């Protein structure tokens, strides 16, 4: 049977020792978000994930969602778990207190997202989409829409969806065909079919609020002619409670490789009543509010699934007896040594450990900057933090979901044949992890976003938000001999990243295909350098922590050893990536389509 324990010690280390989370309580509106308060909230969240959500993960996967006559029934235990989730206030962590929310930092919710996804990826899909719907309505809704929908979404009484994709178009939203016809009362009749709608229909909440992209009759072609509409499953009555059923129905649910306990729906809108959110033909801007939140959430899905896979692989490697260590018998009292003594198993376990701990630190740094951008002490600070979040969002989404799947696959490899059978539960992690590389913009699209939009934005202003931070760290610590073995490889890889940035900018101005051809390798370089930066910061924090608390020697020394592993075994991938992207686009474009 698989196991999961929330990594609270590591989370505390990142928040307190690496990031200095106490700084959040100095921001306007976050005065109560002290480190102790955040710690106690996270501890309670860990109990929910370990004791309520995780026990439903395997059974939910085996049972899946059931569809009949337009209704979806979630697996046994899910409705009760969702009730417990809402009663605990977990759906309202970051929501505006004006609409019933706790008003806590986004950082707290980010920690919860990792733990929820590690405990039960499928369950996390239901409240996860609601957060994006909440944020879009909070930013672009009318006062009446906010008053009606936000308290219900914050409480979890109603859930939300994102209805973008149609059968003929996914990423290319300019091809959307769903239509919106204006009615005499200010509402619109929405007609069309949307596919791959997560949590589009279920039995967890009393109402479902669909945010739908559609075209008005006189809309321009392409993405400039898309509007956003709020379309509830049940039309609210005068008291704001669910009333008459709207003309939106679930036509079917998908039979998927993974996340089987999450309902992925085909939604049919047959003249459904909806209301415009924001300005006509400006729906893409509002939808990006949801998509950016969703992309950061998906990054945490990659991390969460990697963490639970890592934990189980480590447990198994300590217990599974196979052969003797190549250097001689390590456990003479046993018939064979546990496989954790073998170098190749250690390579996989250390790769998992280096990724999960480094990605956690990087994710929480980005989340903390998101909080700073929302509650800025001054405009310059807000802009800098916002730039950093915008730049790192595609990097986190792509890298952490790529690695989430890789770590799940490595966990199966550690288990050997036992990892391939259902009983151990490890193969589910690989099946669940795979979707995160695809939805909310495939990882290739994230790379194009980084190169095509983020690199040149503000004449490189976004890039500078990262480059200056890394450069300052290297300068501040270059004279420290104890860090030389970490800073030297980091400095070399950082220089390669800067060189790659200039190369892509130069080539891309002449030929856009050059930038597109380099995008995936460039994003991976970017992620590796960012991870190296975080590992160097963690090594500094670990040394200071060891001096202050020698009793935790094992914990802090493990950080230093893992940091060295990352620099020596994982960061060198930047060399290969640089060589690959430097080779140009011709080796990708030369082969004619008919020759593939």
Nearest to 290 by CA among 386, 211, 216, 389: 211
Query: What six digits make up the tokens of 302?
Result: 């990659």
Query: What six digits make up the tokens of 457?
Result: 């934005």
Q: How far is CA 587 from the centre of its chain?
A: 32
Nearest to 269 by CA among 163, 173, 187, 186: 163
- Catalytic: 440? yes
Rounded to whole angstroms, the Cα distance separating 129 from 403 reads 23
Residue keyed to tokens 């280390």: 13
For the chain, give the longest Cα–Cα distance: 84
Is 28 in a helix, a strand, or coil? coil
The total of other beta-carbon atoms located within 10 Å of residue 2's CB is 19
The total of other beta-carbon atoms located within 10 Å of residue 338's CB is 18
Contacts of 259 (CB under 8 A, 6+ apart): 121, 122, 125, 432, 435
The total of other beta-carbon atoms located within 10 Å of residue 144's CB is 9
Query: What six digits make up the tokens of 345?
Result: 């198993």
Residues in the chain: 596
Nearest to 307 by CA among 559, 126, 446, 116: 116
Rounded to whole angstroms, the Cα distance separating 67 from 282 reads 35
Torsions phi, psi for 227 (to 5 deg): -120, 155
Cβ atoms of 91 and 130 within 8 Å: the answer is yes
Query: DSSP H helical segments within 106-158, as ranges?
Result: 106-140, 143-155
Nearest to 164 by CA among 154, 152, 153, 177: 177
Query: What six digits make up the tokens of 523?
Result: 């994003």
CA dihedral of residues 167, 171, 176, 182 (deg, nearest 10): 120
Cβ atoms of 193 and 179 within 8 Å: the answer is no
Rounded to whole angstroms, the Cα distance separating 596 from 592 reads 7
Cβ atoms of 299 and 397 within 8 Å: the answer is yes
Torsions phi, psi for 150 (to 5 deg): -65, -45
Rounded to whole angstroms, the Cα distance separating 37 from 16 reads 12
Cβ atoms of 14 and 7 within 8 Å: the answer is no
Nearest to 81 by CA among 223, 203, 209: 203
Radius of gyration for the chain, computed over Cα atoms and rounded to the nearest angstrom: 24
Distances (CA, A) of 99 to 96, 129, 443: 6, 18, 35
pLDDT of the chain, 596 residues: tens digit per residue: 899 999 999 999 999 999 999 999 999 999 999 999 999 999 999 999 999 999 999 999 999 999 999 999 999 999 999 999 999 999 999 999 999 999 999 999 999 999 999 999 999 999 998 998 999 999 999 999 999 999 999 999 999 999 999 999 888 888 899 999 999 999 999 999 999 999 999 999 999 999 999 999 999 999 899 999 999 999 999 999 999 999 999 999 999 999 999 999 999 999 999 999 999 999 988 877 777 888 999 999 999 999 999 999 999 999 999 999 999 999 999 999 999 999 999 999 999 999 999 999 999 999 999 999 998 888 999 999 999 999 999 999 999 999 999 999 999 999 999 999 999 999 999 999 999 999 999 999 999 999 999 999 988 999 999 999 999 999 999 999 999 999 999 999 999 999 999 999 999 888 999 999 999 999 999 999 999 999 999 999 999 999 999 999 999 999 999 999 999 999 999 999 999 999 999 999 999 999 99
Query: What six digits make up the tokens of 459?
Result: 């004449």
Is 240 in a helix, a strand, or coil? coil
Strands 179-182 and 66-68: unpaired
Cβ atoms of 163 and 172 within 8 Å: the answer is no
The catalytic position among 166, 201, 440, 514 is: 440
């Amino acid at each position: 049977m698989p196991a999961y324990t929330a990594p609270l010690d590591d989370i505390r280390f990142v928040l307190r020792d690496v990031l200095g989370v106490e700084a959040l309580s100095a921001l306007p509106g976050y005065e109560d978000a002290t480190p102790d308060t955040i710690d106690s909230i996270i501890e309670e969240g860990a109990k929910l994930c370990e004791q309520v959500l995780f026990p439903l993960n395997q059974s939910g996967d085996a049972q899946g969602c059931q569809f009949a006559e337009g209704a979806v029934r979630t697996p046994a235990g899910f409705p009760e778990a969702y009730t417990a989730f809402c009663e605990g206030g977990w759906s309202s962590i970051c929501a505006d207190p004006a609409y019933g929310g706790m008003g806590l930092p986004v950082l707290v919710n980010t920690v919860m997202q990792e733990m929820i996804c590690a405990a039960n990826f499928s369950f996390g899909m239901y409240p996860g989409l609601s957060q994006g719907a909440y944020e879009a309505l909070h930013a672009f809704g009318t006062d009446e829409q906010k008053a009606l929908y936000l308290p219900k979404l914050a409480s979890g009484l109603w859930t939300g969806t994102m209805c973008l994709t149609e059968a003929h178009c996914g990423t290319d939203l300019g091809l959307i065909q769903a239509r919106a016809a204006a009615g005499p009362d200010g509402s619109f009749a929405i007609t069309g079919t949307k596919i791959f709608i997560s949590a589009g229909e279920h039995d967890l909440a009393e109402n479902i609020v669909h945010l739908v992209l559609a075209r008005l009759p006189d809309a321009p072609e392409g993405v400039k002619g898309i509007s956003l509409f709020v379309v509830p499953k049940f039309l609210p009555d005068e008291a704001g409670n669910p009333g008459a059923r709207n003309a939106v129905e679930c036509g079917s649910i998908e039979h998927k490789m993974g996340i089987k306990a999450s309902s992925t729906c085909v939604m049919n809108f047959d003249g459904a009543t909806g209301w415009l959110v924001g300005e006509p033909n400006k729906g893409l801007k509002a939808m990006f509010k949801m998509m950016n939140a969703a992309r950061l959430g998906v990054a945490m899905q990659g991390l969460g699934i990697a963490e639970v896979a890592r934990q189980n692989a480590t447990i198994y490697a300590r217990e599974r007896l196979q052969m003797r260590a190549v250097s001689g018998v390590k456990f003479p009292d046993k018939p064979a040594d546990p496989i954790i003594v073998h170098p190749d198993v250690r390579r996989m376990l250390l790769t998992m450990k280096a990724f999960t701990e480094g990605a956690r630190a990087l994710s929480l740094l980005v989340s903390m900057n998101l909080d700073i951008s929302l509650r800025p002490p001054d405009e310059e600070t807000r802009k800098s933090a916002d730039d950093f979040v915008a730049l790192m969002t595609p990097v986190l989404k792509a890298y952490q979901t790529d690695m989430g799947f890789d770590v799940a696959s490595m966990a199966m490899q550690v288990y050997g044949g036992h990892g391939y059978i259902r009983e151990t539960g490890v193969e589910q992690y690989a099946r669940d992890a795979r979707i995160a590389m695809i939805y909310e913009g495939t990882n290739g699209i994230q790379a194009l976003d980084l190169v095509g939009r983020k690199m040149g934005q503000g004449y490189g202003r976004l890039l500078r938000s990262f480059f200056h931070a890394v450069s300052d760290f290297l300068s501040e610590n270059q004279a420290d001999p104890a860090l030389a073995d970490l800073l030297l490889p980091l400095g070399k890889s950082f220089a390669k990243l800067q060189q790659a940035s200039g190369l892509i900018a130069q080539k891309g101005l002449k030929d856009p295909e050059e930038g597109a051809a380099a995008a995936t390798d460039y994003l991976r370089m970017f992620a590796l350098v960012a991870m190296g930066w975080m590992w160097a910061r963690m090594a500094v924090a670990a040394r200071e922590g060891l001096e202050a608390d020698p009793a935790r020697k094992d914990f802090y020394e493990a950080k230093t050893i893992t940091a060295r592993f990352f620099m020596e075994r994982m960061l060198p991938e930047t060399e290969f990536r640089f060589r690959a992207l430097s080779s140009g686009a011709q080796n990708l474009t030369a082969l004619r389509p008919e020759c593939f």
